[in-house]
A and B are shown apart, each in its own frame.
Chain A
C-alpha cells in the first residue's frame, strides 16, 4: 500500500514540479530558495489531511496558493522557526489562477519604469541585476569605482521604486 502511495506522489511531483518551481522562482528569483520552497510546498500540501478532497484538476492551483503562503510567511517571519500557515483556510479560499497576463503587464511596467531612469542608473541595473555581473565587473565595464557602483545602484533602485509606484497609480 505504501509503495502505491509513493508511486502516486511520484506522479504528482513529476507532473507538477516544473510549473510550480517556475511560479516560485518568479517570486523569489533565486534557485536555492525556489527549490527549498518547492519541496516545502509538496510536503505541506500532500501531508494535509484534506488533500484527498481536492480535485486532481485543481492540484496546481492549490500548490501555488500554498507556495505563496509559504513565501509570505518566510518573508514575514524570518526569525521564527516553523510557520503558521493555515492550509485549511487556503483550501477554502479561492486558489490562484494562472496569471500570465499579470506577469506580462508587470514586465511591461518594469521596462517602462527602467526607461525613465537616467542612462547610468539604467546601465548599472542592467549590468548588475539583469546581466548578473559582480560589483567589480560592473565597475570595470562602466569605468567607475566599485564603491560608486554600489551607490549608483542604490540610487537607481530608490528612484525605480518611486517610478514604479507612479506607473502603477497612473494605470490603476
Chain B
C-alpha cells in the first residue's frame, strides 16, 4: 500500500471513530498522521455512549468476580490480563486510605461547584428507645460568601426569619412579644448543617469511611462514619449522585441523638436578592451574635444598641467577680452530653448565658418544671460581668430570693461553648 492510500485509510478510520490499523512506516507519514489528529482536534470529541462509565465499572467488577472464582492469576495480555492483576490488587491495596481520601475528595470537588443552595432542613431528636421528634423544619438559602436566609417552617419559632451577610445577623420575628422573649441564639441564629462547614469538618477529620448505603428523601446515599479530631464519631450521608452531604447524625450519647437532614436541596447561582434585603422597612432587626444582654438592636436607632460586646470581652483577671456565695454542683458528664447536643443543633439556648440563668431561676421557683411562660421575664436579667468564659447575671425580680447567677463555659471556651450555672448569690 502506498503512502497516499495509507494516509487516506488513516483519515477514514478516525472519521469512523475507529482505531487506525494502518501503520506509518516512515517518519514523514508519521508526522502526517500526527497532523491529521491535530486538525481533527479542532472539532469537539466524539463522546462515548452514556453507558461508558458503567462499562468501566462492570469490566472491573466482572474481572474481579472471574478471578475470584477461578482462583487463577494469569497474564493473557490486554485488558483481561490486567484486570486479573487488578482484582488481586483491589483486595490488597484498596482497604485503606484510598477509599477515605477519595470520598472526601469527591465531596470537596462537588462542593467546589456549588455557588448557592436552597433546601429544607429538618432537625430531629431521638432517644435510646428509638422515639423521634422533629424539633424544627427550616427553609434554608445559603451561599459561599457566608450569606444565608433561614425561615422556620415548623418548630418553636415558626415564622422567624434570619438573614446574615456573613458578619451580621438580622431577624424578623413573628411579633414583638416573640422578639422580647427571643433568645439571641435561637435555633436559627446558629446555622447548623451548613454545607461548607460540613465539608471543612470532613476534610479535617481524623478518619472518614463508607459503612453502608441508604436512601435519604428518595436519593441514594453513602453512609459514612466520620471521626473528627478530638470528638465523637458521627454519621454523614452523602448523596451518591451529587456527592453533597444530605444528613448528619450525632452519636447516641447519654441516650440523646440528633439528626439534621436536607429533605430537599437544590443548587442555584445565588440567593434571591429580595431574601437578603434587611432595610429599615422590612421588619428585620440586627441581633448580637455574641449573645449578651438584650442584644436585639435596631439598626435605625443607634441609641438602642446595647452594651458593646468588646467591652464584655475585655480580659478580667478579677476572679472575685465570679465567685458565688453558693456553689452549684456540676456533673461534667452531663455537661459534655449537653455540649454535644448543642453542637448537633439541640438546645441552642445553652449558648446564651441569660437564657441559661433564666431557666435555672425558673426551675428554682418551679422545680416540677416550667409550664407556660417563664416566671421571670428575660428582660429582668442583666449581665453584670462577663469575660466571655465566665459571667455574672443579676436578677432584677422580687419573685426569687436569688440576686445573681454565676455561669461558666466549662466544656469549650469559644463562641460554640455552652454556659453552665456554677453558683448564685442570695444577698442583695
Q: For residues 6 through 22 of chain B, which have their beta carbon under 8 Å from a beta carbon of chain A?
A: 7-8, 11-20
Residue of A nearest to B36 (CB): A129
Given contacts A31-B17, A47-B82, A130-B42, contact A56 B104 (CB under 8 A): yes
Per-residue contact bits, chain A 124-167, to B (CB 8 Å; 1 contact, 0 not): 01001110111100000000000001110110011011001000
Residue of B nearest to A38 (CB): B56
Query: B46 interface residue, CB < 8 Å from A?
Result: yes
Contact of A40 among B61, B82, B85, B103 (CB under 8 A): B82
Residue of A nearest to B23 (CB): A78
In the docked arrangement, what's the CA distance between A39 and B8, Å? 28
Given contacts A81-B78, A130-B40, A157-B35, contact A4 B60 (CB under 8 A): no
Residues of A with Cβ closer than 8 Å to B? 1-2, 4-15, 17-18, 21-22, 25-36, 38-40, 42-44, 46-49, 51-52, 55-57, 59, 78, 81-82, 103, 106-107, 110-111, 114, 125, 128-130, 132-135, 149-151, 153-154, 157-158, 160-161, 164
Per-residue contact bits, chain B 91-112, to A (CB 8 Å; 1 contact, 0 not): 1111111110111111001000
Given contacts A2-B91, A30-B18, A134-B12, contact A11 B36 (CB under 8 A): no
Say whether chain B's binding surface is mostly helix, strand, loop, or mixed. helix
Contact: B35 with A46, CB < 8 Å?
A: no
Contact: B39 with A56, CB < 8 Å?
A: no
Contact: A28 with B90, CB < 8 Å?
A: no
Contact: A8 with B13, CB < 8 Å?
A: no
| Range, interface on chain B | 35 or more
Residue of B nearest to A41 (CB): B56
Residue of B nearest to A25 (CB): B45
Query: B41 interface residue, CB < 8 Å from A?
Result: yes
Query: B284 interface residue, CB < 8 Å from A?
Result: no
Contact: A154 with B14, CB < 8 Å?
A: no
Closest CB in chain A relative to B175 CB, distance in Å: 49
| Inter-chain contacts of A29 with B (CB < 8 A) | 14, 36-37, 40-41
Query: B64 interface residue, CB < 8 Å from A?
Result: yes
In the docked arrangement, what's the CA distance between A151 and B106, Å? 51
Residue of A nearest to B6 (CB): A154
Contact: B11 with A39, CB < 8 Å?
A: no
| Inter-chain contacts of B35 with A (CB < 8 A) | 157, 160-161, 164
Given contacts A30-B19, A30-B20, A157-B7, contact A6 B90 (CB under 8 A): yes
| Inter-chain contacts of B82 with A (CB < 8 A) | 40, 43-44, 47
Closest CB in chain A relative to B13 CB, distance in Å: 7
| Inter-chain contacts of A81 with B (CB < 8 A) | 77-78
Closest CB in chain B relative to A27 CB, distance in Å: 7
Further 20 A-B residue pairs, CB within 8 A, beyond A21-B52, A33-B19: A6-B90, A8-B99, A8-B103, A15-B109, A18-B47, A21-B48, A28-B19, A31-B46, A31-B47, A32-B17, A32-B18, A39-B56, A47-B89, A82-B78, A129-B39, A129-B40, A130-B43, A150-B7, A157-B36, A164-B38
Given contacts A12-B102, A128-B11, contact A107 B93 (CB under 8 A): no
Given contacts A8-B210, A9-B90, contact A106 B17 (CB under 8 A): no
- A22, A27, A56, A82: most-surrounded residue (chain B CB, <10 A): A56
| Inter-chain contacts of B40 with A (CB < 8 A) | 29, 129-130
**Nearest 8 CB-CB pairs, A to B?**
A56-B105, A31-B17, A47-B86, A25-B45, A5-B94, A47-B89, A33-B19, A8-B99
In the docked arrangement, what's the CA distance between A82 and B85, Å? 13
User: Can you list 17 A-B contacts with CB-CB less than 8 angstroms, sorted by A residue number?
Assistant: A5-B94, A9-B57, A15-B243, A30-B14, A31-B45, A33-B19, A34-B48, A46-B86, A51-B93, A52-B93, A56-B105, A82-B75, A106-B38, A110-B42, A125-B39, A154-B4, A161-B32
Closest CB in chain A relative to B109 CB, distance in Å: 7
In the docked arrangement, what's the CA distance between A56 and B106, Å? 9
Query: B169 interface residue, CB < 8 Å from A?
Result: no
| Inter-chain contacts of A12 with B (CB < 8 A) | 102
Contact: B60 with A28, CB < 8 Å?
A: no
| Inter-chain contacts of A5 with B (CB < 8 A) | 90-91, 94-95, 99
Closest CB in chain B relative to A142 CB, distance in Å: 14
